[in-house]
Amino acid sequence: MAAVSTAMSQGYVRFAGCCYLLIIGLGLYFETMVRGNLIVAGDAIATAAQISAAQTLWRSGIVADLCMQLLDIPIIVLFYLLFKRVNAALNLTATGFNLIQTAMLVANKLTLMLPLLLAGSGVYLAAFSAEQRDALAYLAIQLHGYGFAIGLLFFALACIIRGYLIIKSQLFPKILGLMLGLAGVCYLINTLALLMAPDVAAKLFPWIMLPVLVGELSLSLWMIVKGANLKGLA
């Protein structure tokens, strides 16, 4: 029975690893294919025109982002089950931070719907001039960026704590814990810079996200290929 339980557990670890990898892929899709193609930095009129002309692409980005938060849930559950015997208090704290982040990012998607609504033909939109509608759409996109960063503040703390839990446990190689902890620090620096020193944040991004990509990608691939060392949980 123990062998069956372990096999099922390894299957869930690999499933969660696939979810993690999909989250990374969907995030890259939104940043490169959607934002990269449709948002013109500092130009509200051009951005609104791009989104209006490619509404399906913009909507696909919103759906991709929502799928990321849906895929978060199996990972949160897995990490909670894996680390609860390592340090119950820290594990619960990391889980709480992760749930707050996920809830915030889901709610934050409403800001991405505003450019589509402003590009519509509703009678109520006559209250705004074309320039005002473009400005409001661009403002909503900027607001989404800040909302996303604030959500990642909580995820940063979850990553730092889970990095420590990986190091303390024997579930994964310690190097993966160090890399996840570093990813959390990078998330934290990026968010605080955006909130307190936007000019500095512009210089840091996207380079500060490289350790994040390497750390999270390494962990997800290890989960898929190797699973976790579950002997200590028996």
34-45 tens-digit pLDDT: 998 999 998 999
pLDDT at 157: 98
Average the pLDDT over 156-169 and give the result: 97
Q: Which residues of 46-64 are buried (b: 16+ CB within 10 A; e: fewer)?
A: ebbebbbeeeeebeebbeb
Answer whether 182's CB lies under 8 Å from 174's CB.
no
Q: Please tell me the total number of residues recorded for the chain in this structure.
A: 234
pLDDT at 196: 94
d(CA 65, CA 52): 19
Q: State the Cα angle at 29 between 197 and 44, rounded to 5°.
A: 55
Q: Name the domain count of the chain.
A: 1
pLDDT bracket for residue 6 (50, 70, 90):
low
pLDDT at 206: 83
More confident: 68 or 123: 68
pLDDT bracket for residue 1 (50, 70, 90):
very low
> Which pTM was predicted?
0.91
Q: What is the pLDDT of residues 66-112, one digit of tens each?
A: 999 999 999 999 999 999 999 999 999 999 999 999 999 999 999 99
Question: In whole angstroms, what separates CA 126 from the centre of its chain?
Answer: 36
pLDDT at 2: 47
pLDDT of residue 4 exceeding 50, the answer is no
What residue numbers bound the domain in which 52 lies?
Answer: 2-233
pLDDT, mean over the chain: 92
pLDDT at 131: 94
Backbone angles phi, psi at 63, to 5 degrees: -65, -40
pLDDT at 202: 87
